[in-house]
Amino acid sequence: MRTIKTILTILTLVTFINASGQVDLGQIPKQVKQAADSLVKSNLGTEYFTKTTYNCENSLVYINDHFSFNACSTTKTKKKRKKKNKTELQPEFYVLKYKLELLDNSKFDFEVRINKNFELKEKINLPDCANTGACKITVDSLSAIDLALKSGLAKGLGVYNDGLIFDGQTNTFQWKIKNHLKTMPDKGDMIYIDAVTGQRLVDKDEQWLRSIVH
């Protein structure tokens, strides 16, 4: 109960976040968004940056280890009154979510973390599309499943596309394809298909297992 009361007290007291100028609680400051956009554009280049959308609904403002606020949420503020002892919480960093749309609605979700000084907090997991052909994928989601089966992946109880990932070591997009071989517990094989060449990356073959939770 004390924890709940503490949270409610803090939420009641906090009306503004101080981040190079006051902004409504939950919103990402304009400077942060501009910094993130600039970093994304430098990686993707102008062509692919235009195919990128900012996902405000899933973006976050981190206040401390215990509090985070949706970037789209705002609080209704009353008329400002001058108070000597005004309670404010400093945001530690911001997590901006993006979606890059490539071939035939093939989508890749990624995030950019910006600290309170408007600097990159962690390396962005994005390809160098501005200077390489990494974003010129030729294999869409359904084609990846077909290529996986042709490469020898067993159908089992079903074959699924687990999504598009980016491998920073090879600067390539890859599809994660898995089959369902057994139940209780559920398990199967997972393979990776290069989204540009369509080749199966045999050295990355692995098995997956879903534990049973009672």
| Phi, psi for 39 (deg, rounded to 5) | -70, -40
Residue range 97-123: average pLDDT? 90
Q: Cis ω on the peptide bond leading into residue 29 (within 30° of 0)? A: no
Confidence of residue 65 (pLDDT cuts 50, 70, 90): low
Give the number of other Cβ atoms within 10 Å of residue 48's Cβ: 21
Helix (H) or strand (E) holding 148: helix 141-150
Domain boundaries, the chain: 2-115, 141-208
pTM, two decimals, is: 0.74
pLDDT in tens, 32-61: 999 999 999 999 999 999 999 999 888 988
Residue 68 has pLDDT above 80, yes or no: no
* Euclidean distance between CA atoms 176 and 141, whole angstroms: 10
Looking at the predicted structure, is the pLDDT value of residue 214 above 80? Answer: no
CATH topology for 141-208 is Nuclear Transport Factor 2; Chain: A, (3.10.450)
State yes or no: pLDDT of 10 exceeds 60.
no
E-assigned strand segments in the chain: 16-18, 22-24, 52-64, 67-70, 93-101, 107-115, 159-167, 172-179, 186-194, 206-210
